[in-house]
Amino acid sequence: MGARFCARCGTNARAGSKFCAECGEPLAGAPAGDGRWRLTAAGMTVLGLFLSAGLAIWTLILLPARTRPVGGPRAAQTPAAEASRELPQGHPNVPIALPAEVKTFVADLAAKAKEKPDDAETWAKLGQVEYRAAQLDPAYYADALGAFEHVLARDPKQPDALRGAANVHYDREEHKEAIPLFERYLALRPDDPSARTDLGTMYLYAGDAARAIETYKAVIQRTPSFVQAHYNLAVTYHQQGDDAGALGELRSARNVATEDAVRGQIDEMIARLSGDKAGGGSSPFQTAVEHAFRNHPIVGPKIVRFEWSGPAAGRVLVENFPMEAMPAAVREKFTTHMGDELRTAQSANHIDGPVRVEIADASSGTVMATVTP
């Protein structure tokens, strides 16, 4: 009997197990892939757990929290004065090298799938694995889409393949391709609030704000506790110039949010829109730095708040982000990238003198890293 994987979190199930040891999902007959594996969850390399049980460090750092209803607001990030268009929080714009074990696993699974062209289950699994890999290395997006399309060519109503292909187009901001796939998927699984919210975001990207608003409202009516729909609706209202409506939805989102990091992000957005932030709000440099940190796929979802002690000196407080457990190469790449972001913000805003941002644990206050240009 072949290995079984949890349909929710991807854990390799032990022989005889009826429930996933990681997230508690029933294993027998569980539908695969009905959740989004977003960078905004609490990290990216759940892929590591799914692909190789030996990647314990990656799993420790990046496994999504199963208690969070959404992986953080998806349609847009905190509005910034200089931003002409909000991008999805956690947008995969920072490639990270895949561990060798992961590449080997993907290649082996692809080889097995090619040996069984009519095995929809194997091809759907391959698509999910390649999709997760693409969130680290975008080069895998084409392979993931090819795997999902392979399944759909044989079964046009296979829901996991429909959702997977829609996810790929969503992440690549290809709204014209994503919209019909989400619509076909939702015809089969109408009660999926995450997929319907993503469909609303694709309507928004396509320029149909009215339909996006209608879709977000439909999600909220069905699932009032779905934070992502409230948040995305708030962003859409803000884009339409309705900050009163945006603030109302943000407060609704905060009331139903269960994670401190999500509530902290919402609080900052409320403060920015209402003008209540001390000192009249962040400077353009500080706004650019906050934008860069929040948009990073690893650290962004774990941010609780920013504290600025000076025009170019501050601290970003994070939760559940054990940098000391990071592989050295990953830590170095992360800090180097954030240093480059600081340099870009410094140059763009003509900041003279030293620039310094500490990354600290929100609970203990321990400084885990200091980033400089």
Q: Under DSSP, is residue 314 helix (H, G, I), strand (E, B) or coil? A: strand
pLDDT at 265: 77
**CATH number of this structure's domain 31-274:** 1.25.40.10
Q: Under DSSP, is residue 4 helix (H, G, I), strand (E, B) or coil? A: strand
Bigger pLDDT: 224 or 364?
A: 224
Where are the domains positioned within the chain? 31-274, 283-371
The owner of tokens 């990354």 is 359
**At residue 46, does pLDDT exceed 50?**
no
The owner of tokens 């091809």 is 123
- What is the rounded average pLDDT for all residues in the chain? 74
Give the confidence band of 158 by pLDDT, cuts at 50, 70, 90. Answer: very high
Helices and strands, number each (H, E), in the chain: 14, 6
CA 127 vs CA 110, 142, 161: distances in Å: 9, 10, 8
The predicted model scores a pTM of 0.59
pLDDT at 281: 56
**At residue 344, does pLDDT exceed 60?**
yes
DSSP 191: T
Tell me the torsion sign for CA atoms 205, 207, 211, 216. positive
Over residues 229-260, the pLDDT tens digits come to 998 898 888 888 888 898 899 989 888 888 77
Rounded CA gap, 210 and 207, in Å?
9
